[in-house]
Amino acid sequence: MTDKAHEGGYKIYLVTWGWLLAITLLEIGIVLVRLPKAILVISLIILALMKAALIMAYFMHLRYERLNLIYTVVTPMFFLAIVLFAMIGPDALHVFRSR
Amino acid sequence: MAHEVADQERILASPWSGGQSPFAVGWPKLMMWLFLVSDTLTFAGLLAGYGVMRISLGQWPRQSEIFNLWLGGGMTFILICSSATMAVAVAAAKSGDRKRVTPCLLATVFGGLLFLAGQYYEWSHFIHEGARLFSNPWGVPQFSATFFITTGFHGAHVTGGVIYILITALRWARGRIQPESIEIAGLYWHFVDLVWVFIFTLLYLI
């Protein structure tokens, strides 16, 4: 192991760190410019999911794991997201409207 | 009959072959992953509860005006940095770059402590402004309740992580543990960072 090989091995974390930082700044930026509420919420959720994907894929090395481990981890999150957004969301809106 | 044998060979060559180590990782790492999946559900429950209350109440204080965005952004920055140093510690341990591991782990611990200091400052400021667990001056009692419970739960995870990584660093410095233990501690720490991404987005920005 030479020092050069190490530099190459750590570069991916530096790049991931840079992207996470850039997305965080973008998030704060779009809050400060006061976009319409719907656009703000949708873009913030997309940006948060991008950050989550970066952390899981590179910091947690999930990208380099075997496919069945990736599915084991990602599937519950995916179905949970569907349940939360597709079922609980409209339910809560219904409570709000029936007040 | 012949095609069944071919089928079996195809399955054995696929990621679903099972065998001695079906996930191609050691059991400690697999257990940490399963713990993190279940812990995700805990935080998802807290955040979903927050979402239901906020949507069904129809009114909510403007969070981005009550909280100091730059403090929250700074805490996010600190946590991302500590996650990066943790990732470098794991890579160094695995590639045999032994002398770089302990400083990186201690940098991660330092980042965690800085984050907790930021959270202490934020909580004391918020309480000083009159926020209590079940009441606050902004008109929606659920606002401070969800804030204290969700960030408190996350802060407890950070505190646990700081202690966990400190112990891991000490044990590594004494040569008691293998690189896999560093990797598992890293998974936990990145998860804490991951949860903060959603807490910061949902509780501070939206």
Q: Are residues A75 and A50 in the same domain?
A: no
pTM of the predicted structure, to 2 decimals: 0.90
Tell me, yes or no, whether B55 lies in a domain.
Answer: no
Asked, for residue B63, whether it belongs to a domain, the answer is no
Q: Domain range spanning residue B201? A: 68-206
Q: Please report the sign of the dihedral spanned by the C-alpha atoms of residue A75, residue A78, residue A84, residue A86.
A: negative
Looking at the structure, tell me whether residues A79 and A37 fall in a common domain. Answer: no
Amino acid A3: pLDDT: 43
Yes or no, beta carbons of A6 and B97 under 8 Å apart: yes
Domain count for chain A: 2
Amino acid letter, residue B145: A
Higher pLDDT, B8 or B74: B74
Which residue pairs, CB below 8 angstroms and at least 24 apart, start in A49-55? A50/A23, A51/A20, A51/A23, A51/A24, A51/B197, A52/B194, A52/B197, A52/B198, A54/A16, A54/A19, A54/A20, A54/A23, A55/A16, A55/A20, A55/B83, A55/B190, A55/B193, A55/B194, A55/B197
Give me the total of CB pairs closer than 8 Å, taking one residue from chain A and one from chain B. Answer: 136
Q: B202: distance to nearest CA of chain A, Å?
A: 8
pLDDT in tens, B118-176: 999 999 999 999 999 999 999 899 999 999 999 999 999 999 999 999 999 999 999 99
Cα–Cα distance for residue pair B95/B183, rounded to 1 Å: 12
- The domain that holds B97 is classified in CATH as 1.20.120.80
Please report which confidence band the pLDDT of residue A93 belongs to, taking 50, 70 and 90 as the band edges: confident
A51 and A35, same structural domain? yes
The reply to whether B90 falls in a domain is yes
Chain A residue numbers touching B40 (CB-CB < 8 A): 76-77, 80
For residues B78-88, give the mean pLDDT.
96
N-terminal to C-terminal alpha carbon distance within chain A = 67
- Whether A80 sits inside 8 A of B40 (CB atoms) is yes
In the prediction, which pLDDT does A2 show? Answer: 41
Statement to judge: residues A37 and A79 lie in one domain: no
Interface-testing mutation among A61, A64, A67, A70, with chain B (most B C-beta atoms within 10 A): A61
- Would you tell me the crossing angle of helices B141-173 and B27-57 to the nearest 10 degrees? 170
Residue B92 is assigned to a structural domain of this protein: yes
Residue that the structure tokens 């935080």 belong to: B43
Q: Are A68 and B29 in contact (CB under 8 A)?
A: no
Inside any domain, residue B97: yes
Our count of domains for chain B comes to 1
A28 in contact with B at a CB cutoff of 8 Å? yes
Domain match, A18 and A49 both: yes
Mean of the per-residue pLDDT values for chain B?
92
Range of the domain at A87: 66-99
What residues of B are in contact with residue A20 (Cβ under 8 Å)? 80, 83
**Can you tell me the mean pLDDT for B61-88?**
93
B69-128 residues touching A, CB cutoff 8 A: 69-70, 73, 76-77, 80-81, 83-84, 86-88, 90-92, 95-97, 100
The answer to whether B205 contacts chain A (CB < 8 Å) is yes
The answer to whether B39 and B122 are in contact (CB under 8 A) is: no
A18 and B CB contact within 8 Å: no
